[in-house]
């Protein structure tokens, strides 16, 4: 194997590792935002966990923030603004990235 091949393999491994961390962070963010929304909806215990899992599933069906946002917007009362939902998604993504990197 040449030095170029070694570098190529290293870049591919780093990319795969970064993508795995990204996936874990987004799944964790979806769970956290689901728990946040569940609290607003008055869900506790297993009901809150089930709701959080449904938010994670929404992202797995069709990757991207749009599906998660749309589910939250449909489920949450109008008193929760679009900006507040998006802010929670961003804040909780930062928290999730930190948690995944720390693990």
Kindly indicate whether the domain formed by 3-102 is annotated with CATH number 3.50.50.60. Answer: no
pLDDT values of the chain reduced to their tens digit, one per residue, 103 residues: 678 777 777 778 777 777 888 889 999 999 999 999 999 999 999 999 999 999 999 887 777 789 999 999 999 999 999 999 999 999 999 999 999 988 7
End-to-end Cα separation, the chain, in angstroms: 34
CA distances from 4 to 8, 10, 17, 53 (A): 6, 10, 20, 43
* Verdict on whether the full-model pTM lies above 0.75: yes
- How far is Cα 88 from Cα 81, in angstroms, rounded to an integer? 11
pLDDT of residue 62: 76
pLDDT of residue 29: 96
């Amino acid at each position: 194997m040449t030095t170029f091949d070694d570098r190529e393999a290293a870049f591919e491994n780093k990319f795969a590792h970064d993508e795995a961390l990204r996936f874990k962070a987004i799944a964790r963010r979806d769970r956290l935002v689901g728990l946040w929304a569940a609290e607003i909806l008055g869900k506790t215990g297993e009901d809150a966990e089930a709701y959080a899992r449904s938010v994670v599933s929404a992202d797995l069906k069709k990757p991207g923030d749009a599906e998660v946002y749309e589910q939250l917007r449909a489920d949450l009362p109008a008193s929760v603004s679009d900006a507040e939902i998006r802010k929670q998604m961003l804040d909780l993504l930062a928290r999730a990235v930190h948690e995944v990197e720390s693990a």
